[in-house]
Chain A
């Protein structure tokens, strides 16, 4: 385990110690069971106290954890079959946003999401999970296909944001995102959105308009990254921790303002510690969300999706 965050360190150390004792016990035949039990109890407490009191910044780091399950991991763990589809039919394909046809719990779904890489080579290929316009246009193409054949859409959000680049601007990054928001709000099939990692601004929202929004326990969702917010408002990048707190970006915050319908619990220590368990927790939430949505007539479904967006506001009135 070479890849861990600062606040994970004491936990990792304790785990290593327990592992060592276990190995020594089996090698030398000594009985360390009392000591191991004691340490395991301590580990349990430590994990609980660390992960129930994470700061928004720590959650940001966890949401960006290089070992965190990504869209293709969830698809592999949750779906029975997956046929990835490529290209926007206009300009090209984009590997920062993947999608395709899948079978979930015996039924067809169209599934898509941002895709980060786990190492430098992958990250260059995936552009760190920051899609160009053709990524969003591919996503919309797949959603329209879902609509045409009457199957639900599942999206996974995990991006630092839409790619800021010359080509992206030339090809209408703003228009691509806007079009998705517009068309998703009227799509005539159920849409379930999973904020699985990093929900970075408009580039996240561009596949985030749906009937149910499930947010993983340690995922974050924000109008701007804490780093950018810090550099714009404090005029220095070092205030990201403060910005993360001020922006209210945690799953709990999303639930408080009605952006999240459900917080999906993560395994102890975060989703990256146990991909399988994270996926199984999500499976349960997805099954329930899809079952609920299936019973709603299309017209009602679309109208309540609109009303859901319509009602997100916070304003007063002064004569």
Chain B
């Protein structure tokens, strides 16, 4: 069993160690190349070698999309009340605390008013680090409030999803956020206020099966995993390996589920163009 034991020992010069020790290099999860961190940052957190789009925080997303200094966060005070007093292997309250420590936010969605190339819009951005971007009462409420703000100001509502789905720890209330957010989207439609839904890696479950698939325009980031059921669940159900590229953005485009795939570096420009289209002002 010598070979087996050996496998467990980490090589002293592992890429991971480089990253930790120096903090200047980062390993691309996709192509495994070690890249100068500054180069990735400059490249909108996209691997310059293979174009892999790293998962980014809500703050980074806002920085990439909104005009500098234009973002005004709303409803940052909302917190989950742990309505079920949920406890699994860990307490829900501890998971919330951990999410807060990781992101500096009270829940998995950051929302507010912003300008994109000078044009006003409402942004709602998931942070996957906060409990896998799961949608509970606070996320659902913030999305609906964002939509209501869009309706009041008559400016587009733009969401950036990155979520495992509905948040189990709030039980049926989380499930109902799917209906609540979807119903709110219908109000946008009635008022003729556009909704752009940007699907980023990963978007699944109750988020895919609600507001995120209801955009007037649905955009995906390259190679983002997007679906209803997670790939592991599907594999267990059909008992076979899933084809390459299954549930990737490119797969969804081919199947007619998204309007376009937009690279992160082009996102702002694209959104601004869409806003101008829907404003339909002369000149």
Contacts from A to B (Cβ < 8 Å)? 162-166, 168-175, 177-179, 181-183, 185-186, 201-202, 205-206, 208-209, 221-224, 228-229, 232-235, 239, 243, 246-249, 253-254, 257, 259, 305-306, 309-310, 312-319
Contact = CB atoms under 8 A, between A and B. Distances in A.
Interface of B: 77-81, 83-84, 86-89, 106, 137-138, 140-141, 144, 166-168, 170-180, 182-187, 190, 205-206, 208-214, 227-230, 233-234, 237-238, 242, 246-247, 255-257
A306 B79 contact: no
Q: Which 6 A-B pairs have the closest CB atoms?
A: A164-B229, A174-B208, A185-B183, A181-B182, A233-B88, A174-B228
B183 A181 contact: yes
A47 B79 CA distance: 44
A237 B224 CA distance: 29
Contact of A202 (B89, B206, B233): B206
A229 B168 contact: yes
Contacts of B166: 201-202, 223-224
A248 B166 CA distance: 15
Given A233-B88, A314-B170, A172 B183 contact: no
Contact of B86 (A246, A257, A317): A246
A57 B83 CA distance: 20
A59 B71 CA distance: 49
Given A174-B208, A243-B88, A315-B80, A202 B172 contact: no
Contacts, number: 192
Given A166-B242, A169-B227, A179-B214, A202 B176 contact: no
B178 A202 contact: yes
A181 B210 contact: yes
A83 B106 CA distance: 52
Majority-rule SS of B interface residues: helix
Given A166-B242, A202-B178, A175 B257 contact: yes
A315 B138 contact: yes
B180 A205 contact: no
A297 to B, nearest CB: 18
B209 A174 contact: yes
Contacts of A172: 213, 255-257
A179 B137 CA distance: 21
B106 A318 contact: yes
Contacts of A259: 172, 176
Given A174-B209, A178-B214, A315-B81, A247 B168 contact: yes
27 contacts: A164-B229, A168-B229, A170-B255, A172-B255, A177-B209, A178-B208, A181-B210, A182-B183, A182-B185, A185-B183, A186-B190, A202-B209, A205-B179, A222-B172, A223-B167, A228-B233, A235-B89, A239-B88, A247-B84, A248-B172, A253-B171, A253-B172, A305-B183, A309-B183, A312-B173, A316-B80, A318-B77
Given A165-B238, A181-B210, 6 more contacts: A165-B234, A229-B168, A312-B173, A314-B137, A314-B173, A316-B80
Contacts of A165: 229, 234, 237-238
Nearest to B77: A317
Contacts of A249: 171-172
Contact of A173 (B175, B178, B209): B209
A75 to B, nearest CB: 25
Q: Indicate the member of A181, A232, A246, A317 with the most B CB atoms within 10 Å.
A: A181
B89 to A, nearest CB: 5
Contacts of B180: 309-310, 312-313
Q: Indicate the member of B186, B206, B209, B211 with the most A CB atoms within 10 Å.
A: B209
Contacts of B140: 313
Nearest to A235: B89
Given A166-B238, A222-B171, A312-B180, A186 B138 contact: no
Contacts of B106: 318
A174 B175 contact: no
Nearest to B229: A164
Given A309-B183, A318-B79, A201 B175 contact: yes
A183 B176 CA distance: 15
Given A229-B168, A310-B183, A314-B81, A166 B234 contact: yes
A221 B182 CA distance: 19
Given A249-B171, A314-B173, A315-B138, A182 B214 contact: yes
Nearest to B256: A172
Contacts of A175: 208, 213, 257
Contact of A168 (B83, B228, B257): B228
B172 A221 contact: yes
A111 to B, nearest CB: 21
A183 B230 CA distance: 25
Contacts of B209: 162, 173-174, 177-178, 181, 202, 206
Q: Indicate the member of A179, A234, A235, A309 with the most B CB atoms within 10 Å.
A: A309
